[in-house]
Structure 1
């Protein structure tokens, strides 16, 4: 929606818009077989996610930093008749990967069902325009298709986020669509059959196990791919730096020089508390209740970037990061505060070159 006389720019463009140039270049260079209605071949989809350089010199930026085989299995699954379930702890880029997969495969990442405890059955199947329903009775004109129904009719990819947050009876409405590739409309005595190219990508968090477990019938319809946390500190630093740069440019934040040291410090803190041991393996640590994911590290650094740019001297410093890190670590005010204080005194205080960070964190906690 636009307002006349006001120029607008999306705060967060969809993947197919933000990376339109890369997708166009890949399509032009892609001479490999493409499944029906796919915009790119499976090889090109994997290249779009993992990055690379095309024969014409076009650089494809990595959208996901992780095991190549994980991405290849996910892409290959979408080329079959099985749906894809991306599973992992919070902050492992499941939503990010699902969006980019849909953008590369179908050129449209907007067919989306956002799972919550209140997601209704209509979001998976179809609803009704009740004004037309009352006036005309059941008809195709009165029917409001769900994103799943629209994807089936068009032969494109649909995304279901946080599948295990959705009530079990609503989850199971997907079984017929995924097994029989059809969506019955009993009120009209009709059905919508999926055309070639249709598939579904769902995401779920490990932390949500036991909330609304998938039924065995529904789980059998998915090929599950687990997205791990970054294997090394270097990989995680690279991910955080890339995403902070992208977010900073989208928000119009001034560039802050020499932020690599603080990014590395945030990643070190998160990894040590997450793993329950210092990087050198010498000191055992208690872990807080939060996940301390890569996504949270990105958020902390982005917040520090804004502080440094607007209220500091333009250089990202420990004081810009302290409050954000403390907020990410202390989710349970009682238990997590003790974990954080022990970490500050036993690790941060004694670590060479971290005195400024120790003082900043103590001030933030005061």
Structure 2
């Protein structure tokens, strides 16, 4: 079936895989869960099922991390996914909610302007003025709906939310209750309810979590890919998937080009060349795996619409410059030095050096 949506929710995009898992899943399922913990982990990590269906990996990384995250959600503790930008925190959160609840849409986006009613509930003011406080005038938040239905609620960028608003989660997490003092009532969580929050550890000091709130989360740190091969696999898989969704009329990026992008990102991120012989200055940008995927897809778009349909060095160069140079003064110096001391001297990379040099000058 074709769709006109730019991006489907995980539970719709991977409905066939979820159905296939459910059909062979004879393990015990926690209350209200669509799949057992084993099946949820298999959905995220991928694998071949006994019915012949192959589950594509949604997360490429240590299996134990996924197992700990899934196990946490079977207990009374909430899950906090922590990591630098681009480590798939939101992606993992969405797929966990899709596999467990069959619904990844109960989402609260954390910002500096997130209010307490975004987490608790709001009011239909026309009804409130006409009839006074009542259940009919109450507008439930995604959190309240998750509690009522026994599903997973997601809170994105928790540390972006003001501290006093964050603390409105404490009663929900500890008592599994959401008081409605205006009505002298409360909403009690149904079995199956839990919270998955994400936080960027580069935001430390923005709105740090109180010790009371930290105690109510089990924190799982999502690391950067451990090896170049792992990162290349992630970039290849996600860029191919996005290319199909965007219907880019270009050939999939070659492994060689993806490997060059990943190598540059890892060297600048780590401050040393791949062979360990040359120390490098690191830019202010995070150079995450997500940004590497963006560089590939930007290059594919250029190749498709303004080139011959095959990703080339000139298609990659502009994306690399945009990813590396966030500070126009400091990062540009770091990038120029890397071009002259590393790219220029590397065998088989002269085309990329020339393309990058051309748009950097």
Aligned residue runs from structure 1 range 191-340, under 5 A: 191-257=186-252, 259-340=254-335
Q: Which residue of 1 aligns with 2:158?
A: 163
Match of 1:132 among 111, 114, 127: 127
The aligned length equals 360
- 1:39 counterpart = 2:34: yes
Match of 2:174 among 179, 198, 213: 179
- 1:102 counterpart = 2:97: yes
Instruction: Give CA-to-partner distance per residue, 1:314-343, whole Å, 9 cap, x none.
Output: 111110000110111000011000000000
Asked whether the 8 Å contact 1:182–1:191 carries over to 2, the reply is: yes
TM-score where L is the length of structure 2: 0.99
Asked whether the 8 Å contact 2:272–2:278 carries over to 1, the reply is: yes
The DSSP-based 3-state class of the residue aligned with 1:323 is: helix
Aligned residue runs from structure 1 range 339-350, under 5 A: 339-350=334-345
- In structure 2, C-alpha distance between the alignment counterparts of 1:364 and 1:64, rounded to whole Å: 34
Asked whether the 8 Å contact 1:257–1:314 carries over to 2, the reply is: no
CA drift at 1:255: 4.0
TM-score where L is the length of structure 1: 0.97
- In structure 2, C-alpha distance between the alignment counterparts of 1:334 and 1:43, rounded to whole Å: 50
The DSSP-based 3-state class of the residue aligned with 2:8 is: coil
* Higher deviation after alignment, 260-269 or 224-233: 260-269
The DSSP-based 3-state class of the residue aligned with 2:322 is: helix
- In structure 2, C-alpha distance between the alignment counterparts of 1:239 and 1:194, rounded to whole Å: 37
CA drift at 1:256: 1.0
The DSSP-based 3-state class of the residue aligned with 1:187 is: helix
Asked whether the 8 Å contact 2:46–2:56 carries over to 1, the reply is: yes
Asked whether the 8 Å contact 2:321–2:356 carries over to 1, the reply is: yes
Structure 2: 5+ residue runs without aligned partners?
none
Structure 1: 5+ residue runs without aligned partners?
1-6
- In structure 2, C-alpha distance between the alignment counterparts of 1:361 and 1:91, rounded to whole Å: 24
Q: Which residue of 1 aligns with 2:25?
A: 30
The DSSP-based 3-state class of the residue aligned with 1:191 is: strand
Asked whether the 8 Å contact 1:16–1:107 carries over to 2, the reply is: yes
Asked whether the 8 Å contact 1:162–1:202 carries over to 2, the reply is: yes
Q: Which residue of 1 aligns with 2:349?
A: 354
Q: Which residue of 1 aligns with 2:83?
A: 88
The DSSP-based 3-state class of the residue aligned with 1:224 is: strand
CA drift at 1:8: 6.3
CA drift at 1:171: 0.4
Q: Which residue of 2 aligns with 1:4?
A: none
Asked whether the 8 Å contact 1:256–1:314 carries over to 2, the reply is: yes
- In structure 1, C-alpha distance between the alignment counterparts of 2:331 and 2:205, rounded to whole Å: 24
